[in-house]
């Protein structure tokens, strides 16, 4: 794990000429102490951030050797990410805030429930065309040697790749200096990224199949650090976009 860093990110956004101002001054401290934030303005002019905790309910996602379900880590990390973003004044919307699936009333099989849930999540992006989708997941592979976060992006919007790059760089610089993974364009196998038209990324935060990385992902402090690096990457994205 990289040494802890204190980073101050100055963020400016395009606003009407009559209201030229600094929207967010954020200070993020990564370490055993709680993440410190400072913001005296609401970032109302920024897109709505749809935070998607992958899987849920009967859909547990990947399962680690010790029985840890991906859905639980996804939710915990997403809730922490939501708290950080809201503390900075960002508008957020969760696709789920507990261990549930948003299934269709006529669903009778687990597969039908999963499909109905994914369509619900897609519908949220359709109802908010000014939004950005950040989907949180965990990886798994038959070989336990593999580790490291990797960000996938949708090819349906030109800003998705830039956002993915900012998030990947933030994670590597702050938490995973030995991570050589590169961002990757998603295919049809990732339903949400394949279907949505808004800027969208999926953050595969680590491998549940790697014992050491699993141990870190189950640690609350590490999840807070990971959430903070995602926030920092998002702030870099907005800063570079203006």
Burial pattern 177-190, b for ≥16 Cβ within 10 A else e, equals eebebebeebeeeb
Q: Where are the domains of the chain?
A: 46-241
CATH superfamily of 46-241: Zn-dependent exopeptidases (3.40.630.40)
Q: Which residue has the tokens 């709680």?
A: 34
* H helix or E strand, kind and range, residue 25: strand 24-29
Alpha helices by DSSP H, listed for the chain, are: 70-87, 110-127, 159-174, 191-195, 211-217, 220-241
Q: Which of 8-17, 95-104, 159-168, 232-241 has the lowest mean pLDDT?
A: 8-17
Q: Is the pLDDT of residue 35 over 80?
A: no
Q: Is the pLDDT of residue 14 over 70?
A: no
Q: Answer for the pair 153, 13: CB distance below 8 angstroms, yes or no.
A: no
Q: Answer for the pair 53, 95: CB distance below 8 angstroms, yes or no.
A: yes
pLDDT of 150-175, one tens digit each?
999 999 999 999 999 999 999 999 99
SS3 127: helix
Q: Which residue has the tokens 């990410």?
A: 81
The overall pTM is greater than 0.85: no
Cβ atoms within 10 Å, residue 130: 9
Give the integer Cα–Cα distance in Å for 123 and 14: 28
pLDDT of 79-116, one tens digit each?
999 999 999 889 999 999 999 988 777 878 888 888 89
Give the integer Cα–Cα distance in Å for 54 and 52: 6
Q: Which of 42-51, 119-128, 157-166, 199-208 has the lowest mean pLDDT?
A: 42-51
pLDDT of 177-203, one tens digit each?
999 999 999 988 899 999 999 999 999
């Amino acid at each position: 794990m990289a040494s802890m860093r204190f980073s101050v990110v100055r963020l400016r956004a395009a606003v009407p000429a009559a209201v030229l101002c600094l929207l967010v001054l954020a200070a993020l401290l990564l370490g055993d102490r709680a993440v410190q934030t400072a913001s005296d303005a609401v970032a109302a002019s920024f897109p709505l951030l749809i935070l998607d905790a992958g899987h849920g309910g009967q859909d547990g996602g990947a399962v680690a050797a010790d029985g840890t379900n991906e859905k639980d880590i996804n939710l915990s990390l997403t809730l922490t990410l939501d708290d950080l973003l809201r503390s900075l004044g960002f508008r957020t919307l969760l696709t789920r805030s507990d261990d549930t699936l948003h299934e269709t009333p006529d669903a009778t099989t687990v597969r039908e429930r999963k499909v109905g849930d994914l369509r619900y999540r897609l519908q949220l992006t359709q109802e908010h065309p000014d939004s950005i989708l950040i989907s949180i997941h965990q990886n798994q592979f038959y070989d336990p040697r593999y580790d490291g976060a990797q960000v996938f992006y949708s090819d349906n919007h030109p800003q998705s790749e830039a956002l993915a790059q900012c998030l990947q760089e933030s994670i590597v610089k702050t938490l995973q200096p030995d991570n050589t993974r590169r961002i990757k364009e998603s295919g049809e196998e990732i339903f949400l990224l394949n279907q949505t038209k808004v800027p969208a990324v999926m953050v595969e935060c680590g491998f549940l199949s790697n014992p050491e990385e699993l141990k870190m992902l189950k640690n609350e402090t590490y999840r807070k650090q990971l959430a903070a690096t995602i926030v920092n990457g998002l702030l870099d994205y907005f800063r570079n976009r203006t």
